[in-house]
Structure 1
């Protein structure tokens, strides 16, 4: 059939050219501002602890404390108690064994040395000393191979009473890391910073505070000889003005799109945000309607930008008798699962005893949904007819789910090949078509 046999057209090349010219800005905006998720590993949690309590052995000590906390009950029994309805006994046993290994090998995925609420106001001299000491200790942990994959500091916020102190701690910590940490000389870093460095800016209320952080990063990079753009940071969403600003709009999109990609994550702060809305203390929770509203706004604001989300924490800790621990573990597991189901793949853990249920709930989430997702991916990729006809968008969602499971260690490459008939590279391409393929995957555990 020739082109003439296809019928006549009303819109000609001239209109197509005008459309292209008119939409050039849109094309550039979508490419620049909405690149999609990068497909790199996102830690399943962040652990916060006072900066002066961190040692190179902290992660291993937390793993040992977590294992000891469930020793009387047993990880297998706890897994059975918090398993989602319908979980097969084989899956319960598989998840329990995987979590036992996880607690022994990588109990903390992301660690934040806290110079804010967890450290308090101790005067400039003491905080100066601990800022330098923290940098040296982090560098030591990286050199010795005991640091979690992601590690960094939370410094004080940029409100007037603490602004100078926050900037001073940030400066001392980074300057000491680069100039005295010895990571470059020991071959553990090309620029003197840990590869998984994370910086946390808390209690943000305005775009200007974030812009000051961007300027600080630019000056630190220039002064320390770091590549431009090396310093990125996460923003804690803990105040009402970050959800609804003074002009009646949400400032999050402007914050993300006017900071040159410096903001890499938004972390919801359960208790500070609840307090800012005057919610009574007994009702402050990750699942309060006000929390769900704030997180829904955050989720829409970051969609397509590649900026990650983290849910908050529960302060109900499993530290009492066996009955109290079991109740707290069940609550924590339910909240972790709830966050995962709502698209928040990271959260905060405040105590070592929360680690077992963090990993149990996460592994159950991916393990229970893997078989169905893998079958649908197999049918889609290989063109196998079935009762479900998935479109490309659904296939991407299935692939992202499985890919996250692979990266966190809940699904092995062998399981992927066997059940879906594809490898990790093909899975990545399906899940993140806009992203450049990573050189190699970095998993967070061993599920099999």
Structure 2
């Protein structure tokens, strides 16, 4: 057969471009991702914190949410209500917290150095104790103070005391560690923090890359440098594990009044879209923010009102492809798990049918003609659903 080009494999510059693609875009996050992160002020954290949150949530579930009420509170089909309530109760009893941060930042405040030192050491002791008795959440770590506060030494001293204490007491670094780095107003702070992590890692004789961190996107300045830094993730040497959106700092920085500082405000949607597009394919996980509210009282009406408000924010995140968020109060565990389970149960069967039809090269129900990219997304959604519903950690999230 006659062709025009002499060598189709001879594309000048292709090898270098493909190598750069592989470095910058290794693919989506692999494996299990928690559905939430629980934040606990360092002064209130102890080895039994996760269990205490679960017990408090179970009390609320039993007191305020019989199966007959669940469908009405969360707007769910009645045929799913009993199953979802049972799943929530079992989750709260077995693993109430999937990801936990010992907070030394906004939830903790500015305290005398000696007090923060003591809390860092005590937190390390509590982590080691929880690890020893098997109650340490699958993901865990501290949230340290921001470099933007002008005192990186305080942030790093707390992290050093915490990590050194954990390693000394636990005989190594328990799996699941990450540290949250907040209020990243300057891109340079990320590289400086990654460099210090490498130094602590070497000093503690941990394996290369053992210490990873998540950045918080809490200011317009952060959104701007994300947009103009296409090689940011690669430049951090694999240490950036996740990006978490901070709704209240972000909306305040945008000048929104308190009543508009909410997760579903358009300015938040814009910030999340920047996070999504600039971090797509880099292997960095994405997490949404929180609802800063607790039940106004122990009255059932007030508890239900909180659950409805929280469920609305969780659904907004899920519909927009953000499958993780922050939980700030034990009551949030009930609405978090109920909403996540309902979301996945409602879509699992139709998604599975579409994947099966595509694999069989037949037409899906309703005349849907799926493209390979859509089927890959459907398959990833099924893996994520199985992980959330069964607590498993899938080996991959694609075809």
In the superposition, the TM-score normalised over structure 2's length comes to 0.94
2:277 maps to which residue? 300
Among residues 147, 159, 166, which one is paired with 2:155 in the alignment?
Answer: 166
Q: Is 1:272 the equivalent of 2:249? A: yes
Of 340-349 and 157-166, deviating more is 157-166
Q: Distance in 1 between matches of 2:137 and 2:392?
A: 21
Distance change in 2, residues 1:274/1:40 (3 Å)? same
Structure 1 unaligned segments of length 5 or more: list them: 185-191, 414-423, 434-448
Alignment of 1:346 with 2:340, yes or no, is no
**Distance in 1 between the 2:6 and 2:81 partners?**
62
Residues matched between the structures, number: 396
Native 8 Å contact 1:36 1:304 kept in 2 = yes
Q: Return the offset for 1:217.
A: 1.1
* CA deviation profile, 1:187-222 (whole Å, cap 9, x unmatched): xxxxx1120111000110111100111110111111
Question: Match of 1:243?
Answer: 223
Quick one: distance in 2 between partners of 1:348 and 1:47? 6
Contact 2:73/2:304, CA 8 A, preserved across alignment:
no
Report what 1:282 is aligned to. 259
Tell whether the 8 Å contact from 1:56 to 1:141 is kept in structure 2 after alignment: yes
Query: Which residues of structure 2 form unaligned runs of 5+?
Result: none
Q: Distance in 2 between matches of 1:40 and 1:212?
A: 28
Partner of 2:339: 361
Q: Match for residue 25 of structure 2?
A: 34
TM-score computed with the length of structure 1 as normaliser: 0.84
What is aligned with 1:47? 38
Contact map agreement 1:238 1:270 (CA 8 A) in 2: yes
| Alpha-carbon distance in structure 2 between the residues aligned to 1:354 and 1:75 | 17
Once the 2 structures are TM-superposed, how far is the Cα of residue 398 of structure 1 from its aligned partner?
A: 0.5
Number of the residue aligned with 2:174: 194
* Contact 2:233–2:240 (Cα < 8 Å) also in 1: yes
Q: Given that residues 367 and 410 in structure 1 are in contact (C-alpha distance below 8 angstroms), is that contact kept between their aligned partners in structure 2?
A: no
The match for 1:396 among 376, 386, 392 is: 376
The answer to whether 1:101 aligns with 2:80 is no
- CA distance change for structure 1 residues 410 and 225 in 2, over 3 Å: closer, same or farther? closer
| Moved >6 Å (runs of 4+) | none
Asked whether the 8 Å contact 1:210–1:255 carries over to 2, the reply is: no
Contact persistence 1:45–1:110 (CA under 8 A):
yes
Superposed CA offset, 1:321-353 (max 9, x none)? 222221221111111011001010100010001
Q: Equivalences for 1:399-438 in 2 at 5 Å?
A: 399-409=379-389, 428=396, 431-432=397-398
Q: Distance in 2 between matches of 1:25 and 1:76?
A: 59
Aligned to 2:62: 71
Cα distance in 1 for residues equivalent to 2:178 and 2:69: 32
> Contact 2:183–2:217 at 8 Å: present in 1 too?
yes
Give the root-mean-square deviation of aligned CA atoms.
Answer: 1.9
